[in-house]
Amino acid sequence: MIVALELGEGLPISVFLGLVGAFLNILIDTFGHRGLRRDPYTHSLLGVTILSCSIAVIAALSLELYIGYKMDFLATLLAILLSGYIHLFLDMLTSTGIYPIWPWSRKTFSLASIRYDDPLTNKFFSTLFILLILAEILKHIKIFK
């Protein structure tokens, strides 16, 4: 029995988009906090949309210029936007929330009062995302007899 990972069915692009989404989330967390408070520039729908569009343009141009791969820009943009919006949703579960309609209002919105550093919640979501990544990889594994 031979187990093979077929790379021609979208897995490399899925991995690339996952890495770009992770980079977006690192940017949001690195530059989006002042002490323990979230910054409205990065923790609002408008802020994440602008940041995601910028990163999607850079990612698509980088792929085309450096390795000659022309990626579907709309799919790239949607994947990166989804990553940013998931980040905002998870931040809405914390007690400090996000700024959904900044710059029109600096009022925060929160769905729950979970602490951002709650170990049980962080382990749950980390495990969930690892399982989702494994499921994506397993879709591309073929077993030959």
**Domain boundaries along the sequence of the chain:** 23-144
Amino acid found at 84: G
- Does the pLDDT of residue 122 top 80, yes or no? no
More confident residue, 86 or 68: 86
- Does the pLDDT of residue 67 top 80, yes or no? no
Which residues make Cβ contacts (< 8 Å) with residue 115, sequence separation at least 6? 94, 95, 121
For 3-36, the pLDDT digits (tens) are 444 545 555 666 677 777 777 777 777 777 676 6
Q: What is the average pLDDT value for the chain, to the nearest integer?
A: 77
